[in-house]
Amino acid sequence: GCEYQDSVFVQLFSTPRFTLAQEVYETCVGNDITVLGPDTNITLAFNWSKNNQTVFTGKDFTTNVPGVYVLQVTDSNKCRATDNAELIFNANPVAVATASSYSCTERSVALNGQGGVSYEWSSDNGNQSNKKRYVITNIQHADSGWYQLVVTNEKLCTDTTEVFLEVRQTPD
């Protein structure tokens, strides 16, 4: 019989190892999120995808579209590794500001806010309040003007609105 002998060289490469610095990114609608790829001392090819569609091929990317993004890195030996990041865009509140009628007996006006869990009133004339219902007592003509309301919800998202307050001088 005949005998035949051959040799095969097998080289094993290790899979690139990495983890994203953050697995969940959260912000408010209208903002962008920058997702950071891993810092590494080896050369990697980066491929970010969402729903199996490539969305970016660099290390870091910026978007305002929610969802789960998968980062696949490939090293020079064609070895691959993946990790993912979830991007959440929380809804903004809807700020509503109204002014009540003037009370002659109390000489006051109430500004009312709605739409959030915290409220910040301010005006050009220096009046400020962090109350949902902002009562201005001993009201004077100098209190006239625009009052800005910043409303914040439980996810720390904000909305801003204004209401105009006109205080007229009354004859004595």
Write the pLDDT tens digit of every residue in 50-88: 999 999 999 999 999 999 999 999 998 899 999 999 999
Average pLDDT, integer, range 4-27:
86
Write the pLDDT tens digit of every residue in 84-132: 999 999 999 999 999 886 656 567 889 999 999 999 999 988 889 999 9
Q: Name the band, by pLDDT with cuts 50, 70 and 90, for residue 170.
A: low
DSSP secondary structure string for all residues of the chain:
-------------PPP----S-SEEEEETT--EEEPPPP-SS-EEEEEEETTEEEE-SSSEEE---EEEEEEEEETT--EEEEEEEEEEEPPP--EEEEPPPBTTTTBEEEEEESSSEEEEEETTS-EE-SSEEEE-S--GGG-EEEEEEEE-TTS-EEEEEEEE-------
pTM, two decimals, is 0.78
pLDDT score, position 65: 96
